[in-house]
Amino acid sequence: MNCFYIFSFCILHSEFLIYLMQLLFYFIIIIPSAIIHEYAHGWMADQLGDPTARYAGRLTLDPRSHIDKWGTLLMPLLLFFMTGGRFLFAYAKPVPYNPYNLKNQKWGPLLVAIAGPGANFLLALMFGLSIQFLPLSTTMISFLSVIVYANVLLGVFNLVPIPPLDGSKVLYAIMPDSMWKVKQLLEQYGFFILMIFIFFFFQLISPIIGFIFNLFTGGVGLF
């Protein structure tokens, strides 16, 4: 499973402090959220009969097991400084799993696929309820709002049905066998289609992200 995550930032000034805050946002919130996402894939696969992730030592929340040196660290930092912080694209190390080991060959891959986004939604809901019902300061509400928004974005984005995102596995599970040529084309050109979606059509999922964010925070979140 791949966990891809994308964030666009509006840079009001080019001061060092703003850059530092954005980098802290990435390392403190995005990376842990992505690690939990990947762990959920491996955990679900293990529950459904495939121990591949467990044997590979990936059923852990230890960042060292999930961080890809290029995709999680070097490439995002390079993009960050090249674009002045306006664009960031990164991915975590895919959790290995063998779909042929799953007890349910039809729906098993779908459950493994949605486990990652599901974990992000669960995190977002947990922090969203905290915003709604706990007596928090404005500063803490702001911080938790960022966590909620980041995880909602990760969950929604990864459910877009374009390879290698998790949504493509969901699509394949419900796609009739007669559409195998469509699957073949998606697998062949998926990454290019994904890039087009990110640069030109990403705003299509913004209303969905906003709706879920407001639903989880009760409209209290500062976004």
Active site residues: 38
Length of the chain: 223
Q: In whole angstroms, give the CA distance from residue 63 to residue 28.
A: 12
DSSP tag of 108: H
Beta 3-8 vs 87-92: how paired, if at all?
A: antiparallel
Is 7 within 8 Å of 153 (Cβ atoms)? Answer: yes
Nearest to 156 by CA among 193, 190, 120, 108: 120
Angle at 78 between CA 77 and CA 79, to 5 degrees: 90
Is 205 within 8 Å of 159 (Cβ atoms)? Answer: no
